[in-house]
Amino acid sequence: IKVGTKKLFIRTKSGDLMVVSVQNQLFQRAGPSKLLSLGIQAVALLPSGDIVCGAGDGTLALLRKANLRVVRQTIVDGGITSITLNTLANGDSDFFFAGTNQDNIYGVGLNSFEAELQLSCHTGRINGIAFPADYSALFATCSGAEIRVWNSSTCQELLRIQVPNLECMCIDFMPDGHSIVSGWSDGRIRAFAPRSGSLLYTIHNAHTEVVTAICTTSDSSRII
């Protein structure tokens, strides 16, 4: 429940927002007409009276105060768990932060309603970490179904590679810098482009079970 000056805004698991008058304790309206999937998980009231809602499927929606109609919408990675407005000196707001259950924090401009990833981290155990040869400006980590590349100075995520329903157990950079090699829970070795994250090749049946350790030779010709 969010309390305005004269109204209660009640989020529901069914995906709509209910408005109740504080003065006379009467239901006024509910919206939006198209319910937000997996329920409304977070609500923020703007100085203008409009409402920002976050849903369990990662949808962020801006609702007009008069009729609760969706006027702007975007989708981020993970169900929304929190919304915090960035308040200016004059009391207005130009953007807000949204947190998700996938450990991501996004900044969203109210005018453009475009979401930009601000901070992120893995949601499970980190199985491996690797730096490129003779280069410390970035590093890669693997956890669950993901490989992520990070900027060492800013700790910002630069690239995310995902292989659904598998677990990445180990990673390494080829010394020539042309690929990231990785070992997976299905016994395969996969190599990805370090800039785009695209799959370069797969070595099938590298092991009969899990590939738990991996490294490369100095001439970038072999994988151990």
pLDDT bracket for residue 211 (50, 70, 90) = very high
Does the pLDDT value for residue 1 go beyond 70?
no
pLDDT at 89: 61
Mean pLDDT of 95-104: 92
- Is the pTM higher than 0.85? The answer reads no
Give Cβ neighbours of residue 168 (< 8 Å, ≥ 6 apart): 127, 128, 142, 143, 144, 145, 146, 147, 182, 183, 184, 185
